[in-house]
Amino acid sequence: MELLVETITWTDEFDRSILSTTVFAALLSMLRALAAAILLFVLAFTLILVAEVKASRSIGWLVRLIIDALESVPAFVWIIAAVSALSSGGFVIVTVIFAFAAMPLVFNFLSGVVRNIMHQPYYLAAIALGVGNLGLILRHIIPNAVPLCMPPFFYVVGSAITVYGAIGIFGFINRRSLDLGVFLLRGKEQAALDPLLLIVSLSAYLILFVLLRWLLLSVACTKR
Amino acid sequence: MGPLLLTGLRAVATVFVAHAFIYALVGALPRTGIAVLGLSAAQESSLSHFLATTDPPESYLEALARLITMEFGKSLDGVAVSTLMAQSTLTSLPVLGLSLGITATTTMLVLVWPHLLAPRVVRGGFEFLTFLPAFVPAFVILAVMVSLNQTTLATDGWQRTVIASLSVSVMPTSLALTTIRDGFDHEMSMGYTRTLRAMGLSRGRIVANLRKAVVIQIIAIADKIVTLQIAVLIFTEVIFAIPGFGNALLLAAQRTDINALIAFVVVISATVATARLLSTLVLARIDPRQRVSEG
């Protein structure tokens, strides 16, 4: 109870309410992660369509090699390298690099889904009827793949939240920024004297991920 | 022999492509393409960082030659990057070794007694742990220590190694355990398991028969476990201020030490590619389905 009262009334070293800044930072994290996840899915889908529908063996092999290389290094390492080299932890740069670095997460899943759809009778019938590539993509692949993409979409949102947090924890963002990662970093530094910021920002992460997990499970149940 | 040779070549190619990406990202991009994004100030700043590196690779071919000779040049301090890598990796070895030991032991235990994962709460808990960000276990341990007034434990000595190892092992262990649970669930639902049941085999005998199939699934995700272990290790070392691999990588990133950054990414990529290669080789020997498809 005492901690709750403290959380509501306490301010940080910049005279900002800890509770309201944490809620705002959590919302911001979620929105950024959603934007990054949408961009990633659009890119991955385009790449898979090029690799699968165009069905060139060499393109497929090349894409596989690129995915292997990206997957062999944790996504946040690519991002901190980019942020370091470009001297900017801005939203656009991080989102674009995330879209490439986290590509393996989505690519492996989506390519399975697209391949599965391409072996379905309705797809083969459409080919037999002479439907073009664009028609196949718009009428068969996208409408059938989108519902299956929802559970991994929430995984990617979680992964994006992690990456944005990592940049804050590694100190690449201004300390006044409304970012949960920066809050964790500051909370860690002040932990011995006042653990409130650490506990509140950590709780915000846990609440965000409980929410995401709940959404994921709900979507999975609805699909069944 | 053909498929195995291809797998080896694929592992080598993975490292070379990762190297090309990191060179493009930290070497070529700041020098060439950034103006297109309208970031001229950042370009100037990063270029000055780039030029501050004692001997940055001038071209991709030079960077490639360095990769082939395993000579990554010097860091901003003038120390050979290979020495820096060796020192930081040696410091990380106790934590990494202990955490791998914890993961392996827990995995073995659950393989022998899969019913340990039977309660719903335990299953759900491990699933949720694999979903969390890689830095959460270390921060949770830190928060618990703060609330118990035990922060000194995390500053030095063997206690720090043990605490950091626990933190590093949480997520890879959860991933392994979730895979085991899913593996047993999947195998239990298969037709041949129903046949074994119908033949009157006890549950213990059936589990013993299914164990190999589940081990195969664990080996198949070995590279993912290694990647996760490295990711959590980097965060944990930064959070507990252990001067190992993670902190050296962070320092290189904060100082835009091009040579060190390239070397770190190559080492991580090579480690994961080796894990993937080893798991493929082991699977080729022990997975009967692969032997059949190859034959």
Greater confidence (B295 vs B81) lies with: B81
Residues of A in contact with B135 (CB under 8 A): 162, 165-166, 169, 184
Average pLDDT, chain B: 83
Confidence grade of residue A95 (pLDDT, cut at 50, 70, 90): confident
- Most confident among A144-153, A183-192, B216-225 (mean pLDDT): B216-225
Report pLDDT for A137: 85
What integer is the mean pLDDT of A13-34? Answer: 87
How many residues belong to chain A? Answer: 224
Rg (CA), chain B: 23
As a whole number of angstroms, the distance between CA B146 and CA B207 comes to 43
The answer on pLDDT for B292 being more than 80 is no
Cβ within 8 Å of residue A4, ≥6 positions away = none
Nearest 5°: CA angle at A58, between A55 and A60?
Answer: 55
Please, which pLDDT band fits residue A195 given cuts at 50, 70 and 90?
confident
Joined tokens for residue A156? 């990617």
Predicted pLDDT of residue B188: 85
pLDDT, residue B47, reads 54
Can you read off the two tokens belonging to residue B237?
């070392």
Q: How far from A106 is each of A157, B17, B127, B250, CA to CA, in Å?
A: 11, 19, 19, 27
Query: CA B114, B115, B118 angle in degrees (round to 5)?
Result: 115
Average pLDDT on B90-98 reads 91
Tens of pLDDT, residues B254-270: 888 888 889 999 999 99
Instruction: Find all residues with CB under 8 Å of B216, minimum gap 6, and list them.
Output: B283, B286, B287
Minimal CA–CA distance to B197: which of B184, B211, B182, B207? B207
| Residue B175 banded pLDDT, cuts 50, 70, 90 | very high
Please name the helix (run of DSSP H) or strand (run of DSSP E) that holds residue B58, with its range, or none.
Answer: none
d(C-alpha B232, C-alpha B169), whole Å: 8
| Residue B5: predicted pLDDT | 83
At residue B50 the predicted structure's pLDDT band, cuts being 50, 70 and 90, is low
What pLDDT, on a 0 to 100 scale, did the predictor assign at position B43?
Answer: 52
Query: Does A9 have pLDDT greater than 80?
Result: no
pLDDT of B168: 92
Q: Which of A158, A169, A171 sits opposite B131 (nearest CB)?
A: A158
Mean pLDDT across the stretch B24-49?
A: 62
What is the C-alpha to C-alpha distance for residues B196 and B206, in angstroms, rounded to an integer?
7
Measured from the Cβ of residue B214, the count of other Cβ atoms closer than 10 Å reads 22
Tokens of B120: 């719903």
pLDDT averaged over every residue in chain A: 84
Residue window 193-222, chain A: list those with CB within 8 Å of chain B. 195, 198-199, 202, 205-206, 209-210, 212-213
pLDDT for B105 equals: 93
- Report CA B279 to chain centroid distance, whole Å: 14
Which DSSP helix (H) or strand (E) runs through A154? Answer: helix A142-169
Contact B252, B47 (CB under 8 A): no
Which of B6-10, B34-38, B105-109 is the most confident on average? Answer: B105-109
- At residue B231 the predicted structure's pLDDT band, cuts being 50, 70 and 90, is very high
Are B272 and A169 in contact (CB < 8 Å)?
no
Residue B98 clears pLDDT 90, i.e. is over it: yes
Place of tokens 């060179």: B23
Mean predicted confidence (pLDDT) in B17-21: 91
Q: Does residue B45 have a pLDDT over 60?
A: no
If one compares B48 and B92, the residue with the highest pLDDT of the two is: B92
Contact in structure between B222 and B275 (CB atoms under 8 Å): yes
Per-residue pLDDT at B272: 92
Average pLDDT (B44-69) is 68
Average pLDDT over residues A44-54: 76
SS3 content of chain B, % helix, strand, coil (to 5): 80, 0, 20
Whether the per-residue pLDDT at A89 is higher than 70: the answer is no
Structure tokens at B196: 């074994």
Q: How confident is the model at residue B210 (pLDDT cuts 50, 70, 90)?
A: confident
Q: Which of A91-95, A125-129, B166-170, B220-224 has the lowest mean pLDDT?
A: A91-95
Please name the residue that has the structure tokens 């990796």. Answer: B89
Average of per-residue pLDDT across B41-50? 54
**Distance between CA atoms of A157 and A179, rounded to whole angstroms?**
16
Inter-chain contact B143–A78, Cβ cutoff 8 Å?
no
| Model confidence at B167: pLDDT above 80 | yes
A90 CB neighbour count, 10 Å cutoff: 14
**Mean pLDDT along residues B216-238:** 91
Q: How many helices (H) does chain B have, and how many strands (E)?
A: 13, 0
Give the whole-number percent of chain B exceeding pLDDT 70.
86
3-state secondary structure of B234: helix
Q: CA-CA distance, B9 to B281, in Å (whole number)?
A: 13
Q: Hey, what are B60's tokens?
A: 């991709």
Q: What angle do CA B262, A165, A202 make, to 5 degrees?
A: 140
> What mean pLDDT comes out for the span B21-41?
68
A17 strand-pairing partners: A11
Quick one: which of A109, A107, A61 has its CA closest to B14?
A61
Query: Is the C-alpha dihedral spanning A86, A90, A93, A98 positive or negative?
Result: positive
Closest-CA distance, B194 to chain A, in angstroms, reads 24
Q: Lowest mean pLDDT: which of A174-188, B30-44, B243-257?
A: B30-44
For residues A50-71, average pLDDT = 76
Is the CB of B18 less than 8 angstroms away from the CB of A72?
Answer: yes
Instruction: Tell whether the model's pLDDT for residue B40 goes beyond 90.
Output: no
Q: What is the b/e burial string over B106-130, where b = at least 16 CB atoms within 10 angstroms of the residue's CB?
A: bbeebbeebeebeeeeebeebbebb
A119-146 confidence digits (pLDDT tens): 889 989 998 998 888 888 888 888 888 8
Interface test with A, best of B22, B128, B274 (most A CBs within 10 A): B22
> In sequence order, what are the residues at sequence separation of 6 or more whose Cβ sits closer than 8 angstroms to the Cβ of residue A76?
A101, A162, A163, A166, A167, B134, B231
Q: In the prediction, which pLDDT does B97 show?
A: 92
Buried b (16+ CB within 10 A) or exposed e, A94-127: bbbbbbbbbbbbbbebbbebbeebbeeeebeebe
**Per-residue DSSP letter, B28:** I
Tokens matching residue A172: 């690449």
Segment A101-112 shows an average pLDDT of 83
CB-CB under 8 Å, A155 with B133: no
Provide the token pair at A62: 């090349």
Band of residue B294 on the pLDDT scale cut at 50, 70, 90: low
User: Does A205 sit within 8 Å of B133, measured CB to CB?
Assistant: yes
The answer to whether residue A176 scores a pLDDT higher than 60 is: yes
Q: Which of A165, A192, A213 sits opposite B131 (nearest CB)?
A: A213
Distance from CA of B46 to the nearest CA of A (A): 6
Residue B82: CB atoms within 10 A of its CB come to 15
At residue B99, the pLDDT reads: 93
